């Protein structure tokens, strides 16, 4: 995808819904109904290119921050339902409500046809299907063979992405691979829900086709970087097959010889070999690289980026899409949105500098959470005293604390310097040269899939097969990229897990650290069913993997607060000038020591004034119910498509419990 996408009008039909047809504006003022697309859009590479570019925009228009998920929709409900982000009690984790009626199910599937075309799942699939069907004949004969190959390859990739998110949300869905005339009467297009395994097979077939038709990387990187590649297709195949092998969709997951794990492993190893040959995977050799690789925005080849969404710093929304991430991250005194506070569980998650887990036995003290941590910690979070520059002040330092009028004053009289619900805020994927006057128009790209994830996928497959040595080897590859050689002992602190369950836990732990705040946490929680154990659905993964349940917990935070309150800022100008914690500076260790000393002299840790997670102003703990892992179909498509069956755990259109088994 280019930074500047074409912006033509479009129209299509979701063929699964059957409530009539309607008129619309055309793609190029030439398509007159839902039933017919005009092939004149394929009479030149310019027009077909515009069609492709518009499809990128339809798929990714709302993909403005890395924590939003689900193709086309891109909201943060799922990320806000995990331990990464606090403060929003979504419907998924709200203990005061229970979702099981069809009217409460996810609406992502789509709705009936309307006079104005809605950009929904099956509309997007129809756009891909149309080009795949028509680009090799008729008016498209004027297109070059190479152009037609890459055009089709991109559409196979689009279709695979859309079906993958549909299967993650619903399990099996109707498979539509041709353009059908929408009708309320045609029996031939009353397509039932396929088995989940059948949808996975279709996705894999599409990704294989994309990998054959697309280049490993585009020859003209300056204009085509960001478009789908064979590298992205091969890597995504490993993600898809790993999901299919995981407990949510695979009742036989605990069998080390189950062929789902071998298929996922084969896909991962094949991708790794092909990508290495093509020059991917070598962009990160230090922790500094790990940080910088995510905010490159020069459209040059990036060996870490396998699927990337390009965003623009233009202020004209008709020619570019802006990232909202930078503005969200920056505190108020940076002219930002206020910052994203990190729950205590995330602060306490990251390993120590030698790679060991942050426990009291290993010397971890959460009061001084910034001491002796994994190199990625200092690139994922900012905290008081941390150097975090902007374009006009590259040496600017973040400060997050509060004070009050006097020690006897009530809590309502606090003054704040960027007060947040945590002493640490997210800084990952932030550009230290960002322009503070235009944070809202940031051009920082989003990596939907990084090379690191491919390595983690391979490690997890080995773990599931009980191949501990191979698993640890791949986990060490992740850490080797960011840890100094001095920390190489015992596989960079990973150690040797005692069995496959411990190895799987080590993989999931490393994913939490390496992929933090990249929109992946919910999907890992979902496919491993880690909110709780539920014997009624055969779920005991928390117990087997020795992973704490998220249900029954809440996101916790705290403040750095002045020890002495006398109606003035506790920090002097000299205090501020004396500290700038920079992990890349030669005096990094000395700066950490100074921060420790300053904290002891002037600050204390105090609890939040109110619970972070609230419903109707009352503190709550998370409750994610087992039927939420896979949503039922919403009452709207069920009412319009009587042949569609409802998912087990959800009521159908008439209030009866569903019978569709998404584990087939």
d(C-alpha 183, C-alpha 19), whole Å: 7
User: What's the rounded Cα separation, in Å, for the pair 522 and 525?
Assistant: 5
Per-residue pLDDT at 33: 37
74 vs 71: CA distance, rounded Å: 6
The total number of residues written for the chain in this structure: 664
Give the pairing of strands 381-383 and 446-450.
Answer: unpaired
Angle at alpha carbon of residue 192, lines to 657 and 201, rounded to 5°: 110
Cα distances from 272 to residues 216, 258, 404, 533, in angstroms, run 12, 22, 55, 34
At residue 408, the pLDDT reads 76
Contact 294, 325 (CB under 8 A): no
For residue 300, give every residue at least 6 positions away whose Cβ sits within 8 Å of its Cβ, in sequence order, or none. Answer: 221, 222, 225
pLDDT at 110: 83
In whole angstroms, what is the distance from residue 60 CA to residue 54 CA?
10
How far is the C-alpha of 175 from the C-alpha of 309, rounded, in Å? 26
Return d(Cα 483, Cα 29) in angstroms, integer: 56
Strand, coil or helix: 172:
coil
Query: Residue 238: which of 275, 280, 293 has the closest Cα?
Result: 275
Successive 10-residue mean pLDDT values, the chain, 664 residues = 29 31 29 53 92 93 95 95 95 97 94 69 94 91 95 98 98 94 76 97 98 96 93 98 98 97 98 98 96 82 94 73 92 95 98 98 98 98 97 96 82 81 97 90 92 98 98 98 97 98 98 98 98 96 98 97 91 96 97 98 96 96 98 95 95 97 97
pLDDT for residue 11: 28
| pLDDT, position 17 | 34
Are residues 623 and 92 in contact, defined by beta-carbon separation less than 8 angstroms?
no
Of 312, 345, 261, nearest to 445 by C-alpha is: 312
Contacting residues for 389 by C-beta, under 8 A, at least 6 apart: 395, 396, 432, 433
Q: Are 173 and 634 spatial neighbours (Cβ–Cβ below 8 Å)?
A: no
Token digits of residue 146:
């190479």
287, burial (CB in 10 Å: exposed 0-12, middle 13-18, buried 19+): buried
pLDDT at position 577: 96
Element (H, E) at 224: helix 221-224
């Amino acid at each position: 995808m280019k930074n500047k996408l074409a912006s033509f009008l479009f129209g299509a039909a979701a063929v699964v819904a059957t409530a009539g047809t309607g008129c619309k504006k055309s793609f190029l003022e030439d398509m007159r109904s839902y039933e017919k697309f005009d092939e004149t859009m394929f009479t030149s590479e310019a027009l077909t290119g515009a069609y492709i570019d518009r499809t990128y925009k339809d798929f990714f228009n709302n993909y403005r921050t890395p924590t939003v998920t689900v193709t086309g929709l891109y909201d943060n409900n799922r990320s806000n339902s995990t331990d990464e982000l606090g403060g929003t009690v979504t419907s998924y984790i709200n203990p005061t409500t229970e979702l099981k009626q069809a009217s409460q199910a996810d609406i992502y599937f789509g709705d009936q046809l309307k006079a104005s075309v809605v950009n929904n799942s099956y509309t997007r699939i129809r756009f891909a299907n149309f080009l795949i069907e028509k680009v090799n004949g008729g008016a498209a004969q004027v297109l070059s063979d190479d152009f037609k190959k890459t055009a089709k390859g991109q559409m196979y990739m689009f279709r695979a992405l859309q079906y993958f998110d549909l299967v993650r949300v619903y399990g099996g869905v109707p498979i539509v691979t041709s353009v059908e005339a929408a009708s309320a009467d045609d029996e031939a297009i009353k397509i039932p829900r396929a088995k989940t395994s059948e949808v996975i097979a279709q996705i894999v077939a599409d990704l294989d086709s994309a990998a054959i038709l697309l280049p490993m990387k585009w020859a003209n990187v300056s204009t085509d970087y960001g478009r789908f590649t064979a590298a992205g297709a091969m890597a995504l195949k490993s993600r898809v097959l790993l999901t299919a092998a995981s407990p949510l969709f695979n009742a036989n997951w605990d069998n080390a010889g189950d062929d789902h794990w071998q298929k996922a492993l084969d896909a991962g190893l094949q991708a790794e070999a092909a990508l290495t040959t093509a020059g991917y995977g070598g962009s990160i050799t230090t922790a500094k690289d790990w940080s910088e690789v995510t905010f490159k925005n020069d459209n040059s080849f990036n060996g870490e980026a396998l699927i990337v969404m390009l965003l623009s710093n233009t202020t004209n929304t008709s020619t570019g899409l802006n990232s909202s991430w930078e503005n969200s991250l920056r505190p108020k005194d940076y002219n930002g949105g206020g910052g994203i506070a990190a729950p205590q569980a995330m602060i306490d998650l990251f390993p120590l500098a030698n790679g060991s887990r942050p426990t009291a036995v290993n010397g971890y003290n959460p009061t001084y959470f910034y001491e002796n941590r994994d190199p990625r910690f200092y690139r994922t979070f900012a905290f008081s005293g941390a150097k975090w520059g902007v374009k006009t002040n590259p040496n600017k330092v973040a400060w997050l604390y509060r004070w009050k009028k006097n020690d006897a004053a009530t809590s309502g009289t606090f003054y704040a310097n960027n007060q947040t619900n945590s002493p640490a805020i997210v800084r990952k994927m932030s550009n230290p040269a960002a322009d503070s006057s235009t944070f809202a128009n940031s051009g920082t790209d989003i990596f939907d899939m990084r090379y690191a994830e491919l390595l983690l996928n391979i490690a997890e497959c080995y773990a599931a097969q009980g191949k501990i040595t191979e698993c640890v080897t791949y986990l060490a590859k992740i850490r080797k990229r960011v840890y100094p050689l001095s920390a190489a002992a015992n596989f960079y602190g990973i150690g040797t897990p005692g069995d496959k369950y411990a190895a799987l836990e080590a993989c999931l732990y490393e994913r939490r650290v390496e992929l933090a705040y990249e929109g992946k946490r919910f999907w890992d929680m979902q496919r491993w069913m880690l909110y709780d154990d539920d014997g009624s659905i055969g779920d005991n993964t928390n117990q087997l993997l020795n992973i704490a349940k998220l249900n029954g917990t809440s996101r916790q935070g705290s403040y750095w607060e002045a020890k002495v309150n006398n109606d003035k800022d506790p920090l002097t100008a000299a205090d501020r000038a004396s500290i700038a914690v920079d992990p890349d500076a030669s005096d990094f260790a000395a700066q950490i020591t100074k921060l420790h000393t300053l904290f002891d002299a002037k600050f204390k840790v105090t609890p939040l004034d109110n619970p972070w997670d609230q419903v109707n102003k009352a503190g709550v703990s998370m409750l994610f119910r087992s039927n939420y892992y896979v949503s039922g179909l919403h009452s709207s498509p069920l009412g319009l498509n009587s042949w569609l069956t409802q998912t087990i755990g959800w009521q159908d259109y008439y209030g009866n419990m569903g019978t569709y088994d998404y584990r087939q």
